[in-house]
Structure 1
Amino acid sequence: MRPDARVEAAIICLEQILSGMAAEQALTRWARGARYAGSGDRAAVRDHVYDALRQKRSAAILGGGEDARALMLGVLRAQMADTGRDIGSLFSGETHGPDPLGPAERALVDAPLPATLPADLPEWLLPMLNTQYGADLPSMLDLLRYRAPVFLRVNLSKSTPDQARAQLLVDGVETLPCVLPGALRVTQGARRISNSRAYQDGLVELQDLSSQSAIAALPLPENGRILDYCAGGGGKTLAMAAQIRARFYAHDANPDRMSDLPERAQRAGVVVQQIKTADLPSEQRFDLVLCDVPCSGSGTWRRDPDAKWRFDAAALNRLNATQDSILDAAAPLVAQDGVLAYATCSLLREENDARIESFLGRTSGWKLVSSRQWRLGEGAEQPQNGGDGFFVAHLTRE
């Protein structure tokens, strides 16, 4: 595909997304109908679409509107501002390319870039985040405009970081070690990971740096009973299992979310017993119960920018109610001397410290041992190389 045809394909996908279709669904539908598109074409179209979603508010200013064509024009204008290349070449009007720039668009493209641009975040969230982060907020908002780095967790029970790096390199995946033992940042070939021998043999798993850091900070009980209460795909279960010998259990209110866990556990060489909700009351108490609860995902909005524009105050209230109910349900499952760990991939205090304060206010006999908020980009000398936003709190009985 020509570069202008890739832009037109991205505009088509964005039109569907703006009409309410999920981003992944729109991209999948386009790819199925574009048999001529190679892997490089599909990757380029995806990048265009996700850049437009990450930068939706600023792109609308730069492109002169909020429709798909204007957003794509705005993104390209920002990207090509210092290249000297004419954006008009990507709006050629040729077959499979976007229509040529109109007079108003041409005038916009030829004008200097604005000195300031709006934050690429729903405006109603800004006062909340400003109260929490203050002077650090602008740098975090800037990070939300760009793609997040990709991190791998080395399964230290099966490989060393050096061995894993060497095996990944054979399949064209280049990595750099992080300060956190066993964490690797992917610098080249991220799209080759799932087909690499290292991944298929269970030497590495995809897991963000902040999530790895949070798991590393858990008080994991040697030979104890550990329950991942909101297990989902089981990534955190496997991360814990790579650090300690224990008995691991997984539960999710929607068991379908755990459908990949048996295969992943087998690949990692880990035994994980799944528990149904109805069977939890009859289970022996657990030494550690981890509740990685449903949340806004605001700490991961670089990876899923479509989600931030669909998020509103009503959704936050519903999530807070769910988070409270999970804590209430999980607390009785913890052994007398055990630990209840609460985690989110959220940047919002309303989903983090406020939920712990609410739990302690309505539940006697518990105390907060520690809590930590990983900020966006934290964990690396260069913030753009750091991890997602993440929060974890450890509670025990008084």
Structure 2
Amino acid sequence: MNPAARTQATIDLVDAILDAARTGGAAADQIAKRFFAARRYAGSKDRRAVRTLAYDAVRRFGPVPATARSAIVALADADPELAATFDGSSYGPAPITADEPRAEPGLAPAWLVDAFHAAGLDDSELAALLDRAPLDLRVNRLRAERTEVLAELGGDPAPDLPDAIRLPADTLPDSEILRDGRAEVQDFGSQIVSLATCAEPGGFAIDLCAGGGGKTLAIAAQMAGEGRILATDTDRPRLSRLAPRAARAGVTIAEPRLLDPGKESAMLDDVAGQADWVMVDAPCSGTGTWRRNPEARWRLTPDRLDRVVATQARLLDVAAGLTAPTGTITYVVCSLLDDEGRGQVDAFLARNAGWRALPLALPRGRVHGPGMRLTPASDSTDGFFVARLGRG
């Protein structure tokens, strides 16, 4: 592909990402995979150049651009080499005109920026939400030692996280160590909030929103493969990933159970009041994961936020019914919005007499209301809120 063709391909890719954001379609990384699969003629350098420019555009423009061209044109205004590719050639974009629309730079829609400021996040914290994320691994202590994985893959061991290794952002997660279960791709923040369960060997844990099972496997490692974990979710495709991942990781104590949305309590009646630890990694806005999914801020609306907040509240109440009298709930969202974090937990405590927030001792993060908050700028992790709740 020549430079002009690369620019046109970038516009086409960003248009597909925009359309998916508006319609609730696939995530940007999946769209990019499909995009290049349909363009086998694009070489590795072409794919890298198109992907890099596309993600630059996604990161730069927080207010949703009207079109992909308006975003790339705005980038070209500050980049003469890019502007020169708008040459009107057979495979290139039409020339830029002075009066055509330009996308508006910014972190996010104004209502979201206001919500972040209300949560006590300053501009430096917000800017870090769109940095490129590194590749983090969690060494599976059931299968390997960290020194072994470091010797094969390299990377930087986290001094405060005994199972964690960090690799550069451009590292491709393709290694025999990942395929045979000796390590899992997992952000440092996700590893840290998993520690908040304080799970121990021999107990009974429920991962209420298990998804593909990342935190289930982390909890299983804490439990040294002894005890029982019931891993539940309402998303069949995501939950179906757990069994092969658990087999690779040598985890035999995790039992997947598919639930119907809105019927979680009834379908878990056989374990009501029995769990030592319930993990609620609740569906959320994902504002803490913009480093990996910057187009997610194009998907979020006030109405969608209201819906996920209502779901979170319901799941917390479900979790309360599953815990033993001495059991605990670990509530986690990969969001930095107070409606989903401290406000959600404050509301739970207000409507559930006898419950209280328990102190947390985590290697990173700062106290934020009844829990702790981790941010990219302060903790070099994805953004999370986590709280641990118990009776008494």
Q: Is the contact made by 2:193 and 2:386 (CA closer than 8 Å) also made in structure 1? A: yes
Deviation sequence 1:194-223 (CA, Å, 0-9, x none) = x31111011111111111111123311331
1:294 deviation in Å?
Answer: 0.2
SS in 2 for 1:275: strand
Name the counterpart of 2:322.
Answer: 333
Larger % of helix: which? 1
Q: How many angstroms apart in 2 are the aligned matches of 1:59 and 1:224?
A: 47
Give the aligned partner of residue 117 of structure 2.
130
The more displaced of 93-102 and 150-159 is 93-102
Aligned partner of 1:130: which letter?
H
Q: Does 1:263 align with 2:263?
A: no
* Range that drifts further, 211-220 or 331-340: 211-220
Deviation digits for residues 346-368 of structure 1 (CA, Å, limit 9, x no counterpart) = 00011011111111111122111
Cα displacement string for residues 30-60 of structure 1 (whole angstroms, at most 9, x for unaligned residues): 3233120134433332222222122114897
Alignment of 1:35-74 (within 5 A): 35-57=40-62, 66-74=66-74
2: distance between equivalents of 1:378 and 1:211?
Answer: 15
- Change in 2 beyond 3 A, CA 1:18/1:248: closer
Match of 2:88 in 1: 93
**CA pair 130-139 structure 1, distance change in 2 beyond 3 A:** same
1:275 to 2:257 alignment: yes
Farther off after superposition, 259-268 or 144-153: 144-153
1:189, distance to aligned residue in structure 2 (A): 5.1
Distance 2:343 2:313 in 1: 10
Greater relative contact order, per chain length (Cα 8 Å cut-off, separation 6+): 2
Question: For each residue in 1:72-128, what CA deviation from the matched residue of structure 2 results, as whole angstroms up to 9, or x when unmatched?
Answer: 1333556x5xxxx633343343342223344568xx9xxxxxxxx853111111222
Q: 1:59 to 1:268 in 2, by over 3 A?
A: same
Tell me the distance in 2 between the aligned counterparts of 1:40 and 1:120: 29
What is the TM-score with the length of structure 1 in the denominator? Answer: 0.84
After the TM superposition, which residues 1-398 of structure 1 pair with which residues of structure 2 at under 5 Å, given as runs?
Answer: 1-19=1-19, 20=22, 22=25, 23-24=28-29, 26-57=31-62, 66-76=66-76, 80=79, 86-103=81-98, 119-133=106-120, 136-168=121-153, 174-179=154-159, 180-187=161-168, 190-191=171-172, 193=173, 195-245=174-224, 246-271=227-252, 272-277=254-259, 278-283=266-271, 285-370=274-359, 371-379=371-379, 386-398=380-392
Q: Is the 8 A contact 2:209 2:232 kept in 1?
A: yes
Give 3-state SS (helix, strand or coil) of 1:318's partner: helix
Preserved contact between residue 210 and residue 378 of structure 1 (Cα < 8 Å): no
More displaced stretch, 351-360 vs 241-250: 241-250
* Shift in Å, 1:26: 4.3
Relative to structure 1, the CA distance from residue 28 to residue 188 in structure 2 (aligned partners, 3 Å threshold; closer, same or farther) is: closer
SS in 2 for 1:319: helix
Q: Aligned AA for 1:213?
A: I
Measure, in 1, the Cα distance between the counterparts of 2:39 and 2:335: 36
Q: How far apart are the structure 2 equivalents of 1:186 and 1:104?
A: 44
Q: Which amino acid aligns with 1:243?
A: Q
Amino acid of the structure 2 residue aligned with 1:53: V
1 CA distance for matches of 2:175 and 2:87? 39
Aligned residues, how many? 363
**Within 2, Cα distance between the matches of 1:2 and 1:137?**
42
Instruction: Give the direction of change, closer, same or farther, for the CA distance of 1:274–1:312 in structure 2 (3 Å limit).
Output: same
Q: Which of 91-100 and 336-345 deviates more?
A: 91-100
In structure 1, how many angstroms separate the alpha carbons of the residues matched to 2:235 and 2:249?
23
Could you tell me which runs of 5 or more consecutive residues in structure 1 were left unpaired when the two chains were aligned: 61-65, 109-116, 169-173, 380-385
8 Å CA contact 1:4–1:97 kept in 2: the answer is yes
CA contact (8 A) 2:281 2:332 kept: yes
Q: Percent identity?
A: 39
**Greater mean alpha carbon deviation, residues 5-14 or residues 258-267:** 5-14
The alignment yields a C-alpha RMSD, in angstroms, of 2.4
What is the CA distance between 1:25 and its match in structure 2?
Answer: 5.8
Greater displacement, 120-129 / 233-242? 120-129
Contact 1:150–1:190 under 8 Å retained in 2: yes
TM-aligned CA deviation for residue 307 of structure 1 = 1.7
Given the superposition, is the C-alpha separation of residues 146 and 326 from structure 1 closer, same or farther in structure 2, using an over 3 Å criterion? Answer: same
Contact residue 224 and residue 247 of structure 1 kept, 8 A? yes
